[in-house]
């Protein structure tokens, strides 16, 4: 009796294990190509697709590669259907090429793709107003936007590449995602500025303009702007690599609507230490 119980238990465990493995199977384009090379016909490929989750690429180039591998039109049509089905689509959330809701991300030391959450400027103020008055308007008054806290939550020894995701990418399986301000209007990182923040001890400050009798200027000052390289890695997905940054506090800010007097703004802040 005990032997029979052990056998039944082993069978149950095997069934559970097999079911789990089957449920976790994720088909890719390369899997289909390998199966086709082994002589599997379209009927088998269709059955595999219909009974597994997928991480298919249904782009034109990818479909051409599948066709070149001898895969039939019926299978290609099912690949397109399965790739666009939210219930069957499985994506590696740590793959920079996978669709993500609009925003800024970076990969941590363990390879996890982490969202760089924005901070909101707490107030705007002027600096040098008294000097401006005493000089009868010739001395410059600087407009400052303030971020609360001495440092950003995200701190790096060496700034990593950042990934910018815009609405132009394929996010069909995440229709409810809402882009942060700036990612609704913008289409590339070219519309953002990487700015150096001035550290005051308890807060961080961003110079957003200046005025005097000579003239006025608005936006991020040139002396605070830092260069970065841009590489488009997928539709709506850009890899942004800052140039060498010294120790300090920084932020990405949407240049199309930089903080101004009387307004607050989201910025994507981080520190280098």
The verdict on 209 and 268 lying in the same domain is yes
Tens digits of pLDDT across the chain (273 residues): 555 555 445 444 444 434 433 445 788 899 999 999 999 999 999 999 988 888 888 889 899 999 999 999 999 999 999 888 877 777 677 888 877 888 999 999 888 999 999 998 877 766 545 555 555 454 566 778 889 999 999 999 999 999 999 876 554 433 333 345 566 677 889 999 999 999 988 999 888 765 555 645 666 778 889 999 999 998 889 999 999 899 999 999 987 655 554 556 789 999 999
Domain boundary among 55, 83, 111: 83
The verdict on 61 and 159 lying in the same domain is no
- Does residue 24 lie within any of the structural domains? yes
Structure tokens at 60: 């034109």
Domain boundary among 49, 83, 117: 83
Contacts of 260 by beta carbon, 8 Å cutoff, 6+ apart:
124, 143, 208, 209, 218
Which residue range(s) make up the domain with 20? 2-83
Burial of 81 by CB count in 10 Å (0-12 exposed, 13-18 middle, 19+ buried)?
middle
**What is the tally of structural domains in the chain?**
2
């Amino acid at each position: 009796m005990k032997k029979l119980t052990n056998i039944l238990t082993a069978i149950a465990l095997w069934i559970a294990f097999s079911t789990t493995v089957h449920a976790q199977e994720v088909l890719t384009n390369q899997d289909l190509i390998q199966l086709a090379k082994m002589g599997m016909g379209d009927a088998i490929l269709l059955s595999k697709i219909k009974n597994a989750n997928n991480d298919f690429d249904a782009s034109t180039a990818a479909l051409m590669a599948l066709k070149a591998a001898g895969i039939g039109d019926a299978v290609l049509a099912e690949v397109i259907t399965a790739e666009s089905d939210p219930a069957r689509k499985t994506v590696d959330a740590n793959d920079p090429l996978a669709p993500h809701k609009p925003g800024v991300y970076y990969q941590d030391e363990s390879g996890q793709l982490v969202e760089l959450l924005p901070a909101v400027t707490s107030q705007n103020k002027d600096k040098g107003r008294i000097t401006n008055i005493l000089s009868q308007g010739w001395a410059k008054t600087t407009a400052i936007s303030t971020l609360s806290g001495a440092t950003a939550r995200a701190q790096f020894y060496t700034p990593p590449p950042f990934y910018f995701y815009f609405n132009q990418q394929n996010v069909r399986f995440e229709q409810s995602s809402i882009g942060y301000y700036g990612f609704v209007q913008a289409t590339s990182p070219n519309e953002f500025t990487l700015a150096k923040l001035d550290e005051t001890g308890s807060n961080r400050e961003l110079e957003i303009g200046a005025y005097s009798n000579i003239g006025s200027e608005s936006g991020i000052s040139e002396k605070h702007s830092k260069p970065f390289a841009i590489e488009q890695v997928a539709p709506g997905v850009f890899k942004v690599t800052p140039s060498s940054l010294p120790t300090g506090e920084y932020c990405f800010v949407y240049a199309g609507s930089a903080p101004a007097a009387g307004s607050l703004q989201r910025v994507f802040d981080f520190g280098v230490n």
